Amino acid sequence: MGMRSFLDNKVAPHFHEGGKFEKYYTFYEMFDTMLYTPDSVTRSSAHVRDGIDLKRIMMTVWFCAFPAILFGLWNTGYQANLQIAEGFSPIPGWRSDLVMALAGFDAASLWSNLLHGMVYYVPILIVVYLGGFIWEGLFAWKRGHEVNEGFFVTGILFTLILPPAIPLWQVFLGISFGVVIGKEVFGGTGKNFLNPALVGRAFLFFAYPAEMSGDAVWTAVDNFSGATPLALAAAGQLDFASNLTADAGANISWMQTFLGGIQGSIGETSTLAILIGGAALLLTKVASWRIVLGVFLGMVALSTLLNAVGSATNPMFAMPWYWHLTVGSFAFGMIYMATDPVSASMTNVGKYIFGALIGVMIVLIRVVNPAFPEGVMMAILFSNLCAPLIDHFVVQANVRRRLRRTGGEV
Protein backbone atom coordinates (compact mmCIF):
# COMPACT_ATOMS: atom_id res chain seq x y z
CA MET A 1 0.00 0.00 0.00
CA GLY A 2 2.87 2.34 0.84
CA MET A 3 4.59 1.68 -2.49
CA ARG A 4 1.30 2.19 -4.38
CA SER A 5 0.72 5.51 -2.62
CA PHE A 6 4.31 6.64 -3.24
CA LEU A 7 4.08 5.88 -6.95
CA ASP A 8 0.68 7.54 -7.37
CA ASN A 9 1.43 10.68 -5.36
CA LYS A 10 5.16 11.28 -5.72
CA VAL A 11 6.31 9.64 -8.94
CA ALA A 12 3.38 9.38 -11.38
CA PRO A 13 2.57 13.13 -11.58
CA HIS A 14 5.99 13.77 -13.14
CA PHE A 15 5.17 11.39 -16.00
CA HIS A 16 1.54 12.39 -16.60
CA GLU A 17 0.46 15.18 -18.94
CA GLY A 18 2.10 18.43 -17.89
CA GLY A 19 4.85 16.72 -15.89
CA LYS A 20 8.52 17.29 -16.63
CA PHE A 21 8.95 13.66 -17.73
CA GLU A 22 5.71 13.50 -19.71
CA LYS A 23 7.34 12.19 -22.87
CA TYR A 24 8.74 9.23 -20.93
CA TYR A 25 5.33 8.10 -19.61
CA THR A 26 5.54 4.90 -21.69
CA PHE A 27 8.55 3.68 -19.73
CA TYR A 28 7.00 4.59 -16.36
CA GLU A 29 3.77 2.80 -17.29
CA MET A 30 5.78 -0.27 -18.33
CA PHE A 31 7.40 -0.42 -14.89
CA ASP A 32 4.18 0.37 -13.01
CA THR A 33 2.08 -2.30 -14.70
CA MET A 34 4.78 -4.90 -14.04
CA LEU A 35 4.08 -4.35 -10.35
CA TYR A 36 0.34 -3.58 -10.24
CA THR A 37 -2.89 -4.04 -12.19
CA PRO A 38 -3.54 -1.23 -14.72
CA ASP A 39 -5.87 1.45 -13.36
CA SER A 40 -7.78 1.81 -16.66
CA VAL A 41 -11.22 0.14 -16.58
CA THR A 42 -14.25 -0.09 -18.85
CA ARG A 43 -16.70 2.65 -17.83
CA SER A 44 -19.42 2.60 -20.48
CA SER A 45 -22.12 0.04 -21.27
CA ALA A 46 -22.62 -2.48 -22.55
CA HIS A 47 -19.70 -4.72 -21.81
CA VAL A 48 -18.96 -8.19 -20.49
CA ARG A 49 -17.59 -8.28 -16.97
CA ASP A 50 -14.74 -10.75 -16.61
CA GLY A 51 -12.08 -11.24 -13.96
CA ILE A 52 -9.30 -11.90 -16.46
CA ASP A 53 -7.42 -9.49 -18.68
CA LEU A 54 -4.41 -9.69 -20.96
CA LYS A 55 -2.01 -9.30 -18.07
CA ARG A 56 -3.62 -12.11 -16.11
CA ILE A 57 -3.44 -14.39 -19.14
CA MET A 58 0.24 -13.59 -19.58
CA MET A 59 0.93 -14.14 -15.89
CA THR A 60 -0.83 -17.50 -16.03
CA VAL A 61 1.34 -18.64 -18.93
CA TRP A 62 4.43 -17.35 -17.14
CA PHE A 63 3.65 -19.27 -13.94
CA CYS A 64 2.75 -22.40 -15.89
CA ALA A 65 6.22 -22.33 -17.43
CA PHE A 66 7.81 -22.65 -13.98
CA PRO A 67 7.93 -26.49 -13.93
CA ALA A 68 9.97 -26.42 -17.15
CA ILE A 69 12.13 -23.56 -15.82
CA LEU A 70 12.96 -25.25 -12.52
CA PHE A 71 13.73 -28.58 -14.12
CA GLY A 72 15.77 -26.82 -16.80
CA LEU A 73 17.89 -25.12 -14.14
CA TRP A 74 18.59 -28.43 -12.45
CA ASN A 75 19.23 -30.35 -15.66
CA THR A 76 21.59 -27.71 -17.10
CA GLY A 77 23.75 -27.97 -14.00
CA TYR A 78 23.36 -31.73 -13.74
CA GLN A 79 24.52 -32.37 -17.31
CA ALA A 80 27.54 -30.10 -16.79
CA ASN A 81 28.49 -31.51 -13.39
CA LEU A 82 28.10 -35.06 -14.70
CA GLN A 83 30.65 -34.45 -17.45
CA ILE A 84 32.99 -32.58 -15.11
CA ALA A 85 32.98 -35.68 -12.89
CA GLU A 86 34.07 -37.66 -15.98
CA GLY A 87 37.14 -35.47 -16.39
CA PHE A 88 35.98 -32.57 -18.57
CA SER A 89 36.73 -29.00 -17.48
CA PRO A 90 34.08 -26.35 -16.76
CA ILE A 91 33.93 -23.43 -19.16
CA PRO A 92 36.44 -20.87 -17.78
CA GLY A 93 35.04 -17.63 -16.41
CA TRP A 94 33.12 -16.07 -13.54
CA ARG A 95 30.28 -18.61 -13.80
CA SER A 96 32.51 -21.54 -12.98
CA ASP A 97 34.30 -19.55 -10.27
CA LEU A 98 30.95 -18.75 -8.64
CA VAL A 99 29.76 -22.37 -8.73
CA MET A 100 33.05 -23.60 -7.30
CA ALA A 101 33.01 -21.02 -4.50
CA LEU A 102 29.41 -21.66 -3.43
CA ALA A 103 28.65 -25.31 -4.11
CA GLY A 104 31.25 -27.13 -6.22
CA PHE A 105 30.62 -29.35 -9.23
CA ASP A 106 28.79 -32.20 -7.54
CA ALA A 107 26.22 -33.91 -9.79
CA ALA A 108 24.70 -35.58 -6.74
CA SER A 109 23.99 -32.23 -5.07
CA LEU A 110 20.65 -30.56 -5.82
CA TRP A 111 22.01 -27.16 -4.81
CA SER A 112 25.14 -27.52 -6.95
CA ASN A 113 23.11 -28.51 -10.00
CA LEU A 114 20.60 -25.68 -9.51
CA LEU A 115 23.31 -23.07 -8.96
CA HIS A 116 25.29 -24.23 -11.97
CA GLY A 117 22.13 -24.01 -14.06
CA MET A 118 21.23 -20.60 -12.68
CA VAL A 119 24.58 -19.01 -13.52
CA TYR A 120 23.92 -19.84 -17.19
CA TYR A 121 20.17 -19.28 -17.32
CA VAL A 122 19.86 -16.05 -15.31
CA PRO A 123 22.23 -14.04 -17.58
CA ILE A 124 20.25 -15.28 -20.60
CA LEU A 125 17.03 -14.19 -18.89
CA ILE A 126 18.43 -10.75 -18.07
CA VAL A 127 19.70 -10.16 -21.62
CA VAL A 128 16.37 -11.30 -23.12
CA TYR A 129 14.25 -9.00 -20.97
CA LEU A 130 16.67 -6.11 -21.24
CA GLY A 131 16.79 -6.34 -25.02
CA GLY A 132 13.09 -7.03 -25.38
CA PHE A 133 11.93 -4.19 -23.17
CA ILE A 134 14.29 -1.77 -24.88
CA TRP A 135 12.67 -2.50 -28.24
CA GLU A 136 9.14 -2.71 -26.82
CA GLY A 137 9.63 0.59 -25.00
CA LEU A 138 11.10 2.37 -28.03
CA PHE A 139 8.27 1.29 -30.32
CA ALA A 140 5.61 2.15 -27.72
CA TRP A 141 7.25 5.54 -27.13
CA LYS A 142 7.42 6.29 -30.84
CA ARG A 143 3.80 5.26 -31.41
CA GLY A 144 2.54 7.00 -28.30
CA HIS A 145 0.85 4.05 -26.61
CA GLU A 146 1.44 1.88 -23.56
CA VAL A 147 3.82 -1.07 -23.60
CA ASN A 148 1.95 -4.29 -24.34
CA GLU A 149 2.23 -7.16 -21.90
CA GLY A 150 2.82 -9.73 -24.64
CA PHE A 151 6.61 -9.66 -24.31
CA PHE A 152 6.35 -10.87 -20.72
CA VAL A 153 5.55 -14.35 -22.06
CA THR A 154 7.57 -14.10 -25.28
CA GLY A 155 10.71 -13.40 -23.27
CA ILE A 156 10.38 -16.29 -20.86
CA LEU A 157 9.56 -18.77 -23.63
CA PHE A 158 12.49 -17.55 -25.73
CA THR A 159 14.93 -18.28 -22.89
CA LEU A 160 13.67 -21.86 -22.63
CA ILE A 161 14.25 -22.76 -26.30
CA LEU A 162 17.93 -21.79 -26.27
CA PRO A 163 20.93 -24.04 -25.55
CA PRO A 164 22.60 -23.14 -22.23
CA ALA A 165 26.04 -22.44 -23.74
CA ILE A 166 24.84 -19.86 -26.29
CA PRO A 167 26.84 -16.58 -26.28
CA LEU A 168 24.91 -13.72 -24.69
CA TRP A 169 25.43 -11.38 -27.64
CA GLN A 170 23.62 -13.88 -29.81
CA VAL A 171 20.79 -13.96 -27.28
CA PHE A 172 20.43 -10.20 -27.66
CA LEU A 173 20.45 -10.43 -31.45
CA GLY A 174 17.88 -13.20 -31.42
CA ILE A 175 15.35 -11.48 -29.17
CA SER A 176 15.85 -8.20 -31.04
CA PHE A 177 15.04 -9.90 -34.35
CA GLY A 178 12.06 -11.70 -32.84
CA VAL A 179 10.54 -8.57 -31.31
CA VAL A 180 11.25 -6.14 -34.15
CA ILE A 181 10.83 -8.31 -37.26
CA GLY A 182 8.47 -10.89 -35.80
CA LYS A 183 6.07 -8.49 -34.08
CA GLU A 184 6.62 -4.74 -33.97
CA VAL A 185 6.89 -4.16 -37.72
CA PHE A 186 3.38 -5.60 -38.00
CA GLY A 187 1.95 -3.35 -35.30
CA GLY A 188 2.83 -5.04 -32.02
CA THR A 189 1.02 -7.51 -29.78
CA GLY A 190 -2.15 -8.86 -31.34
CA LYS A 191 -1.13 -7.98 -34.89
CA ASN A 192 1.78 -10.35 -35.45
CA PHE A 193 1.01 -13.45 -37.50
CA LEU A 194 4.17 -15.31 -36.46
CA ASN A 195 5.27 -16.43 -33.01
CA PRO A 196 7.97 -13.85 -32.04
CA ALA A 197 9.95 -16.26 -29.86
CA LEU A 198 10.20 -18.77 -32.70
CA VAL A 199 11.08 -16.02 -35.18
CA GLY A 200 14.02 -15.07 -32.96
CA ARG A 201 15.14 -18.67 -32.65
CA ALA A 202 14.80 -19.25 -36.39
CA PHE A 203 17.04 -16.24 -37.02
CA LEU A 204 19.70 -17.63 -34.69
CA PHE A 205 19.39 -21.13 -36.13
CA PHE A 206 20.09 -20.00 -39.68
CA ALA A 207 22.57 -17.24 -38.80
CA TYR A 208 24.62 -19.20 -36.23
CA PRO A 209 23.88 -22.92 -36.74
CA ALA A 210 27.01 -24.11 -34.92
CA GLU A 211 26.02 -22.28 -31.72
CA MET A 212 22.37 -23.35 -31.96
CA SER A 213 22.47 -26.97 -33.09
CA GLY A 214 26.04 -28.25 -32.78
CA ASP A 215 26.78 -31.15 -30.44
CA ALA A 216 28.97 -28.97 -28.21
CA VAL A 217 26.28 -26.43 -27.28
CA TRP A 218 23.97 -28.55 -25.14
CA THR A 219 26.24 -28.95 -22.09
CA ALA A 220 28.06 -26.11 -20.32
CA VAL A 221 31.41 -27.90 -20.29
CA ASP A 222 34.65 -27.01 -22.06
CA ASN A 223 35.52 -29.17 -25.10
CA PHE A 224 32.67 -31.62 -24.48
CA SER A 225 30.63 -32.82 -27.45
CA GLY A 226 27.47 -34.87 -27.08
CA ALA A 227 24.48 -35.37 -29.35
CA THR A 228 20.88 -35.11 -28.18
CA PRO A 229 18.71 -38.25 -28.26
CA LEU A 230 16.91 -36.96 -31.36
CA ALA A 231 20.20 -36.52 -33.21
CA LEU A 232 21.27 -40.01 -32.12
CA ALA A 233 17.98 -41.41 -33.38
CA ALA A 234 18.48 -39.77 -36.76
CA ALA A 235 21.96 -41.34 -36.89
CA GLY A 236 20.52 -44.80 -36.27
CA GLN A 237 22.01 -45.11 -32.78
CA LEU A 238 18.73 -45.33 -30.90
CA ASP A 239 17.04 -48.66 -30.21
CA PHE A 240 13.39 -47.67 -29.78
CA ALA A 241 12.59 -50.93 -28.02
CA SER A 242 15.17 -50.47 -25.27
CA ASN A 243 18.20 -48.18 -25.02
CA LEU A 244 20.95 -46.68 -27.11
CA THR A 245 23.21 -49.16 -28.84
CA ALA A 246 26.52 -49.91 -27.18
CA ASP A 247 28.62 -48.01 -29.71
CA ALA A 248 26.71 -44.80 -28.92
CA GLY A 249 28.51 -44.65 -25.60
CA ALA A 250 25.42 -44.15 -23.43
CA ASN A 251 22.19 -45.74 -22.32
CA ILE A 252 19.04 -43.67 -22.64
CA SER A 253 15.61 -45.17 -22.10
CA TRP A 254 12.24 -43.74 -23.09
CA MET A 255 11.48 -43.04 -19.43
CA GLN A 256 14.63 -40.98 -19.18
CA THR A 257 13.53 -38.84 -22.12
CA PHE A 258 10.11 -38.47 -20.49
CA LEU A 259 11.50 -37.39 -17.13
CA GLY A 260 14.17 -35.23 -18.72
CA GLY A 261 17.68 -36.16 -17.62
CA ILE A 262 19.02 -35.63 -21.14
CA GLN A 263 20.81 -32.98 -23.19
CA GLY A 264 18.78 -30.33 -24.97
CA SER A 265 17.56 -26.75 -24.85
CA ILE A 266 17.08 -25.35 -21.36
CA GLY A 267 13.33 -25.82 -20.94
CA GLU A 268 12.56 -28.57 -23.44
CA THR A 269 14.10 -31.69 -21.91
CA SER A 270 11.45 -32.82 -19.40
CA THR A 271 8.16 -33.85 -21.00
CA LEU A 272 6.75 -34.47 -17.53
CA ALA A 273 7.45 -30.92 -16.36
CA ILE A 274 6.02 -29.51 -19.59
CA LEU A 275 2.84 -31.57 -19.27
CA ILE A 276 2.36 -30.41 -15.68
CA GLY A 277 2.46 -26.79 -16.83
CA GLY A 278 0.33 -27.69 -19.84
CA ALA A 279 -2.36 -29.25 -17.65
CA ALA A 280 -2.64 -25.99 -15.71
CA LEU A 281 -2.90 -24.00 -18.96
CA LEU A 282 -5.67 -26.26 -20.23
CA LEU A 283 -7.58 -26.26 -16.93
CA THR A 284 -7.52 -22.46 -16.80
CA LYS A 285 -8.56 -22.40 -20.51
CA VAL A 286 -5.66 -20.12 -21.34
CA ALA A 287 -4.41 -22.66 -23.89
CA SER A 288 -6.70 -24.25 -26.47
CA TRP A 289 -7.17 -27.97 -25.95
CA ARG A 290 -8.30 -28.24 -29.57
CA ILE A 291 -4.88 -27.13 -30.82
CA VAL A 292 -3.05 -29.44 -28.41
CA LEU A 293 -5.25 -32.37 -29.42
CA GLY A 294 -4.76 -31.57 -33.10
CA VAL A 295 -0.96 -31.47 -32.76
CA PHE A 296 -0.92 -34.75 -30.85
CA LEU A 297 -3.27 -36.62 -33.19
CA GLY A 298 -1.48 -35.32 -36.29
CA MET A 299 1.82 -36.58 -34.93
CA VAL A 300 0.41 -39.97 -33.90
CA ALA A 301 -1.35 -40.52 -37.24
CA LEU A 302 1.64 -39.82 -39.49
CA SER A 303 4.24 -41.53 -37.27
CA THR A 304 2.06 -44.66 -37.10
CA LEU A 305 1.68 -44.64 -40.88
CA LEU A 306 5.44 -44.28 -41.40
CA ASN A 307 6.07 -47.10 -38.90
CA ALA A 308 3.90 -49.32 -41.06
CA VAL A 309 5.63 -48.24 -44.27
CA GLY A 310 9.13 -48.73 -42.88
CA SER A 311 12.51 -48.03 -44.47
CA ALA A 312 15.68 -50.02 -44.82
CA THR A 313 17.87 -46.91 -44.96
CA ASN A 314 16.12 -44.33 -42.76
CA PRO A 315 15.94 -45.29 -39.05
CA MET A 316 13.54 -42.42 -38.30
CA PHE A 317 10.72 -44.31 -40.07
CA ALA A 318 10.73 -46.70 -37.11
CA MET A 319 10.38 -44.04 -34.40
CA PRO A 320 7.06 -44.67 -32.54
CA TRP A 321 4.76 -41.79 -31.62
CA TYR A 322 5.65 -41.97 -27.92
CA TRP A 323 9.31 -41.33 -28.78
CA HIS A 324 8.35 -38.38 -30.98
CA LEU A 325 6.45 -37.02 -27.97
CA THR A 326 9.40 -37.04 -25.57
CA VAL A 327 12.47 -36.26 -27.69
CA GLY A 328 13.36 -32.87 -29.08
CA SER A 329 11.05 -29.94 -28.46
CA PHE A 330 7.77 -31.59 -29.50
CA ALA A 331 6.08 -31.37 -26.09
CA PHE A 332 7.24 -27.80 -25.47
CA GLY A 333 6.12 -26.68 -28.92
CA MET A 334 2.75 -28.40 -28.58
CA ILE A 335 1.96 -26.84 -25.19
CA TYR A 336 3.56 -23.38 -25.21
CA MET A 337 4.22 -22.40 -28.83
CA ALA A 338 1.43 -23.85 -30.95
CA THR A 339 -1.21 -22.49 -28.55
CA ASP A 340 -0.13 -18.86 -28.92
CA PRO A 341 -3.57 -17.20 -29.29
CA VAL A 342 -2.32 -14.46 -31.61
CA SER A 343 -0.59 -16.50 -34.29
CA ALA A 344 -2.82 -19.60 -34.19
CA SER A 345 -6.19 -20.22 -35.84
CA MET A 346 -9.16 -18.55 -34.18
CA THR A 347 -12.10 -20.76 -35.22
CA ASN A 348 -12.85 -23.96 -33.32
CA VAL A 349 -12.63 -26.21 -36.38
CA GLY A 350 -9.62 -24.27 -37.59
CA LYS A 351 -7.79 -25.01 -34.34
CA TYR A 352 -8.06 -28.76 -34.97
CA ILE A 353 -6.76 -28.33 -38.52
CA PHE A 354 -4.02 -25.92 -37.43
CA GLY A 355 -2.83 -28.31 -34.72
CA ALA A 356 -2.97 -31.36 -37.00
CA LEU A 357 -0.93 -29.52 -39.63
CA ILE A 358 1.77 -28.84 -37.03
CA GLY A 359 1.85 -32.45 -35.83
CA VAL A 360 2.04 -33.85 -39.36
CA MET A 361 4.75 -31.42 -40.45
CA ILE A 362 6.90 -32.12 -37.39
CA VAL A 363 7.00 -35.83 -38.17
CA LEU A 364 7.45 -35.18 -41.88
CA ILE A 365 10.46 -32.92 -41.32
CA ARG A 366 12.00 -35.20 -38.72
CA VAL A 367 11.66 -38.37 -40.77
CA VAL A 368 12.00 -37.31 -44.41
CA ASN A 369 14.74 -34.68 -44.00
CA PRO A 370 17.77 -36.41 -42.43
CA ALA A 371 19.73 -33.14 -42.30
CA PHE A 372 17.17 -31.48 -40.00
CA PRO A 373 16.07 -33.97 -37.31
CA GLU A 374 13.97 -31.54 -35.22
CA GLY A 375 11.20 -29.81 -37.17
CA VAL A 376 9.03 -28.26 -34.44
CA MET A 377 10.12 -24.67 -35.00
CA MET A 378 9.66 -24.76 -38.77
CA ALA A 379 6.35 -26.63 -38.53
CA ILE A 380 4.81 -24.06 -36.18
CA LEU A 381 6.06 -21.07 -38.17
CA PHE A 382 4.74 -22.55 -41.41
CA SER A 383 1.38 -23.26 -39.75
CA ASN A 384 1.30 -19.67 -38.43
CA LEU A 385 1.42 -18.55 -42.06
CA CYS A 386 -1.45 -20.87 -42.92
CA ALA A 387 -3.66 -19.96 -39.91
CA PRO A 388 -5.52 -17.05 -41.59
CA LEU A 389 -6.16 -19.19 -44.66
CA ILE A 390 -7.45 -22.07 -42.51
CA ASP A 391 -9.87 -19.73 -40.70
CA HIS A 392 -11.01 -18.24 -44.00
CA PHE A 393 -12.01 -21.62 -45.44
CA VAL A 394 -13.68 -22.65 -42.16
CA VAL A 395 -15.77 -19.45 -42.11
CA GLN A 396 -16.69 -19.83 -45.78
CA ALA A 397 -17.77 -23.42 -45.16
CA ASN A 398 -19.97 -22.24 -42.28
CA VAL A 399 -21.50 -19.56 -44.50
CA ARG A 400 -22.29 -22.08 -47.23
CA ARG A 401 -23.93 -24.44 -44.73
CA ARG A 402 -26.06 -21.63 -43.37
CA LEU A 403 -27.11 -20.54 -46.86
CA ARG A 404 -28.24 -24.07 -47.63
CA ARG A 405 -30.21 -24.19 -44.35
CA THR A 406 -31.93 -20.85 -44.92
CA GLY A 407 -32.58 -21.28 -48.63
CA GLY A 408 -30.01 -18.70 -49.67
CA GLU A 409 -30.86 -16.02 -47.11
CA VAL A 410 -28.51 -14.98 -44.33
pLDDT tens sequence across 340-371: 988 999 999 999 999 999 999 999 999 988 67
Q: Is the dihedral of CA 251, 255, 261, 266 positive or negative?
A: positive
Q: Which of 207, 226, 245 is the last residue of a domain?
A: 226
In this structure, the answer to whether residues 206 and 76 fall within a common structural domain is yes
Q: Of 127, 88, 404, whose CA–CA distance to 396 is shortest?
A: 404
Asked if residue 291 is part of any domain, the answer here is: no
Range of the domain at 17: 1-37
pLDDT tens sequence across 223-232: 888 888 888 8
Predicted local confidence at residue 105, as pLDDT: 93
Asked if residue 125 is part of any domain, the answer here is: yes
In this structure, the answer to whether residues 146 and 27 fall within a common structural domain is no
- How far, in Å, CA of 104 to CA of 106, rounded? 6
Residues whose CB is less than 8 angstroms from the CB of residue 341 and which lie 6 or more positions away in sequence, other chains included: 288
Predicted local confidence at residue 407, as pLDDT: 74
Number of domains in the chain: 2
In this structure, the answer to whether residues 120 and 184 fall within a common structural domain is yes
In this structure, the answer to whether residues 142 and 15 fall within a common structural domain is no
Asked if residue 113 is part of any domain, the answer here is: yes
In this structure, the answer to whether residues 217 and 80 fall within a common structural domain is yes
> 266-296 burial by CB neighbour count: b if 16+ within 10 A, else e?
bbbbbbebbbbbbebbbeeebbbebbbbbbb
Residues of the chain with pLDDT under 50: 43-51, 246
Q: Which of 226, 259, 287 is the last residue of a domain?
A: 226
In this structure, the answer to whether residues 31 and 95 fall within a common structural domain is no
In this structure, the answer to whether residues 138 and 72 fall within a common structural domain is yes
In this structure, the answer to whether residues 72 and 199 fall within a common structural domain is yes
Predicted local confidence at residue 224, as pLDDT: 84
Burial of residue 101, with CB atoms counted within 10 A of its CB: 0-12 exposed, 13-18 middle, 19 or more buried: exposed
Asked if residue 112 is part of any domain, the answer here is: yes
Predicted local confidence at residue 13, as pLDDT: 77
Predicted local confidence at residue 410, as pLDDT: 53
pTM, two decimal places = 0.85
Q: Which of 174, 204, 226 is the last residue of a domain?
A: 226
